[in-house]
Amino acid sequence: MNLEQQKIELINWINSVNDKVVLDHLDSLKNATTVAVPEKIMELLRISAETDLSGCVEHTSVKDLLKDRK
């Protein structure tokens, strides 16, 4: 599922939520994400999202990644 599809699904789900507690949690999450994540990390996430995956090395653990460096 791509990002746009995921957003649409979340919007549709939020539209169907009738529980004020859930909406309050979503609102606090919205407010927390803009303040809690440092700008440098956001910059790295943006760079990561724009990076072509064809040149990336896939790994599942640090041991696997370091094994190739020997």
Q: Say what the pLDDT of residue 64 is.
A: 73
Maximum C-alpha span of the chain: 56
Q: Which mean pLDDT values do the consecutive 10-residue runs of the chain (70 residues) have?
A: 88 90 87 71 86 77 72
Sequence-ordered alpha helix ranges (H) in the chain: 3-16, 20-36, 39-50, 62-67
In the chain, where the domains are located: 19-67
Q: What is the pTM of this model?
A: 0.41
Q: Say what the pLDDT of residue 34 is.
A: 60
